[in-house]
């Protein structure tokens, strides 16, 4: 899988966080992975590890999102936007393999697919506030 496809798979799993408890997410991850056809073991491992890392840091990531969004409550954000922001903030702050600008660009690209047009500039503007 390409990095973009891996990222999109992670986004789709993270989207489920708002509809499941953290305890249920292991089952959701397993279900998502089993639904993917012709996926290599290394890609499965990457998706599982990165998703679990994000979920493990979700309180810290959400606190940073609230911080950069000038006090917007997490509940006020669209579910797709929130999942994209969680993924991007994780990549920007905790994943040394993803360059800062790549994380922002990929988040904007995901928003073009899964969100309305206003979300692009909203996500881009918020992520620009994250300090390197």
Q: Which residues contact residue 51 at a Cβ distance below 8 angstroms, ignoring those fewer than 6 apart?
A: 10, 13, 14, 25, 29
What residues does each domain of the chain span?
Answer: 3-128
Superfamily of domain covering 3-128: NusB-like (1.10.940.10)
Alpha-carbon gap, residue 47 to 42, rounded angstroms: 9
Q: Is the pLDDT of residue 103 over 80?
A: yes
Query: pLDDT at position 132, please?
Result: 63
Q: Which residues contact residue 9 at a Cβ distance below 8 angstroms, ignoring those fewer than 6 apart?
A: 1, 32, 36, 47
Residue 95: name the closest of 54, 66, 62, 36 by CA.
54
Alpha-carbon gap, residue 123 to 68, rounded angstroms: 11
Query: pLDDT at position 73, please?
Result: 87
Q: Is the pLDDT of residue 97 over 90?
A: yes
Mean confidence (pLDDT) of the chain: 94
């Amino acid at each position: 899988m390409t990095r973009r496809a891996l990222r999109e798979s992670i986004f789709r799993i993270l989207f489920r966080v708002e509809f499941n408890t953290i305890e249920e997410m292991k089952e959701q991850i397993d279900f998502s992975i089993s639904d993917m056809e012709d996926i290599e073991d290394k890609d499965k491992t990457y998706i599982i590890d990165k998703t679990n890392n994000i979920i493990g840091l979700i309180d810290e990531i959400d606190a940073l999102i609230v911080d950069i969004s000038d006090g917007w409550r997490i509940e006020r954000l669209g579910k797709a936007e929130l999942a994209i922001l969680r993924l991007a903030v994780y990549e920007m702050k905790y994943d040394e393999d993803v360059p800062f600008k790549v994380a922002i660009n990929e988040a904007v690209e995901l928003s073009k697919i899964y969100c309305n047009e206003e979300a692009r500039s909203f996500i881009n503007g918020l992520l620009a506030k994250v300090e390197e």
